[in-house]
C-alpha cells in the first residue's frame, strides 16, 4: 500500500533498519532529545511499551528498531500529528507492532488499563505555561510548552499505567530537575538512573535523561556525561553510535 505524503511534508531516513519518518517543518520535527531518549530507555524482550506525547512517533519507531519489545502504544493529543505518525508507522510496515492513539494524557485511563505496561517513555513539553507565546494553539507551542499537559500529568499517568517494578524513561531540562525529582517521588516512582547531556564539554548541560522505577528502592546511579559535539558541526563518537547502526 502506498503511503500518502502531503504538501509541506518530507520523508527523513532514521539510520536504523532502513526506517523512515514523515515530518512537516511547519508543525514540529523531532530533535536530538527524542533520539537520546530512545537509546537511554531499557526494554526487555516481550515488554509492553507506552510512549506519551509521541508527536511524530519517532520514539516508538526507533525503539522498535533497537529492542525486542512485544508492542508499542503511543498517545498524541494533536490529531494532525497522530495521523502523520500513523502514516510513518505504515511507511515502515509496523502496523502490527505500533499503535498510535489520539487522546489527552489527562484522560489516559480511557485508553489504557492500570498497571498494564512494563515501560513508559515520554519527551514532554519542557517550558512552563504560556508566557511569551504568540500563538499558544500552534503545533510547535503545544509540543514545547505546558499548554495542554503538565509535568505532573505525565508522571501521575505514568505511575498509574506502569506495572510494579516498571520504569518511566523521560528526557527533560536540567533547570526543572528538583521539581521532577519531587514529583516522581510523590507518585512512588523512585529515580534510579540519570544522565546529563552537554552540548560541549565546557558548557552547562541542556538535557537530562531519567529513569524512575515504580516501587523501586532508594538508590540512583548517575551515569557519565554525554557530550554532543567535539567542535561545532562535529558529533562525538558517543552521539554517532546512538544515531547510526
Q: Which residues contact 138 (CB under 8 A, 6 or more apart)?
A: none
What residues pair up with 22 in beta bridges, in sequence order?
11
Whether residue 224 is predicted with pLDDT greater than 70 in this model: the reply is: yes
Angle subtended at Cα 111 by Cα 20 and Cα 141, rounded to the nearest 5 degrees: 55
Name the strand (E) or helix (H) holding 197: strand 189-198
Whether residue 164 lies inside any domain: the answer is: yes
Residue of 59, 91, 81 whose CA lies nearest to 72: 59
Whether residue 111 lies inside any domain: the answer is: yes
Judged by DSSP in three states, 41 sits in coil
pLDDT range class, residue 2, cuts 50, 70, 90: confident
| Domain with 65 in it | 10-243
Whether residue 171 lies inside any domain: the answer is: yes
Whether residue 245 is predicted with pLDDT greater than 90 in this model: the reply is: no
pLDDT range class, residue 129, cuts 50, 70, 90: low
User: Which pTM does this prediction carry?
Assistant: 0.94
Q: Please name the residue that has the C-alpha cell 515520554.
A: 122
Whether residue 42 lies inside any domain: the answer is: yes
pLDDT range class, residue 142, cuts 50, 70, 90: low
**Could you report the per-residue pLDDT of 35-83, keeping only the tens digit for each?**
999 999 999 999 999 999 999 999 999 999 999 999 999 999 999 999 9
pLDDT range class, residue 136, cuts 50, 70, 90: low
144-152 mean pLDDT: 74
Percent of the chain with pLDDT over 90: 84
Whether residue 141 is predicted with pLDDT greater than 70 in this model: the reply is: no
CATH of the domain at 125: 3.40.50.150
pLDDT range class, residue 244, cuts 50, 70, 90: confident
- pLDDT score at 125: 78
208-234 mean pLDDT: 96
- pLDDT score at 73: 98
Mean of all residue pLDDT scores within the chain:
92
Whether residue 126 is predicted with pLDDT greater than 80 in this model: the reply is: no
- pLDDT score at 228: 98
Would you tell me how many other CB atoms lie within 10 Å of the CB of residue 89? 25
Whether residue 3 lies inside any domain: the answer is: no
**Could you report the per-residue pLDDT of 95-116, keeping only the tens digit for each?**
999 999 999 999 998 999 999 9
Decide: residue 21, CB within 10 A, 0-12 exposed, 13-18 middle, 19+ buried.
Answer: buried
Provide the angle, in degrees to the nearest 10, between the axes of the packed helices 177-186 and 151-161: 30
Whether residue 2 lies inside any domain: the answer is: no
- pLDDT score at 146: 55
CA atoms of 108 and 53, how far apart (whole Å): 11
pLDDT range class, residue 4, cuts 50, 70, 90: confident
124 or 236: whose pLDDT is higher?
Answer: 236
Whether residue 116 lies inside any domain: the answer is: yes
Residue of 229, 245, 170, 79 whose CA lies nearest to 237: 229
Give the total number of structural domains in the chain: 1
pLDDT range class, residue 90, cuts 50, 70, 90: very high
Whether residue 64 lies inside any domain: the answer is: yes
Amino acid at each position: 500500500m502506498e503511503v500518502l505524503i502531503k504538501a509541506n511534508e518530507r520523508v527523513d531516513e532514521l539510520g536504523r533498519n532502513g526506517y523512515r519518518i514523515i515530518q512537516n517543518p511547519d508543525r514540529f520535527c523531532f530533535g536530538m532529545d527524542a533520539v537520546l531518549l530512545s537509546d537511554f530507555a531499557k526494554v526487555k524482550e516481550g515488554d509492553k511499551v507506552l510512549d506519551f506525547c509521541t508527536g511524530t512517533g519517532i520514539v516508538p519507531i526507533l525503539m522498535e528498531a533497537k529492542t525486542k519489545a512485544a508492542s508499542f502504544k503511543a498517545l498524541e493529543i494533536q490529531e494532525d500529528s497522530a495521523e502523520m505518525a500513523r502514516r510513518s508507522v505504515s511507511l515502515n510496515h509496523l502496523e502490527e507492532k505500533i499503535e498510535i492513539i489520539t487522546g489527552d494524557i489527562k484522560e489516559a485511563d480511557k485508553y489504557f488499563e492500570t498497571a498494564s505496561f512494563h515501560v513508559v517513555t515520554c519527551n514532554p513539553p519542557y517550558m512552563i505555561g504560556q508566557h511569551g507565546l504568540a500563538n499558544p494553539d500552534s503545533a510547535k507551542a503545544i509540543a514545547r510548552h505546558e499548554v495542554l499537559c503538565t509535568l505532573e500529568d505525565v508522571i501521575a499517568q505514568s505511575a498509574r499505567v506502569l506495572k510494579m517494578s516498571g520504569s518511566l524513561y523521560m528526557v527533560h531540562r536540567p533547570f526543572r530537575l528538583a521539581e521532577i525529582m519531587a514529583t516522581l517521588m510523590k507518585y512512588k516512582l523512585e529515580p534510579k538512573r540519570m544522565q546529563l547531556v552537554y552540548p560541549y564539554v565546557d558548557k552547562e548541560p541542556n538535557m537530562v535523561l531519567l529513569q524512575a522505577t515504580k516501587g523501586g528502592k532508594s538508590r540512583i546511579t548517575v551515569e557519565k556525561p554525554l557530550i554532543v559535539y567535539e567542535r561545532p558541526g562535529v558529533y562525538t563518537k558517543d552521539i554517532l553510535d546512538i544515531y547510526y547502526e
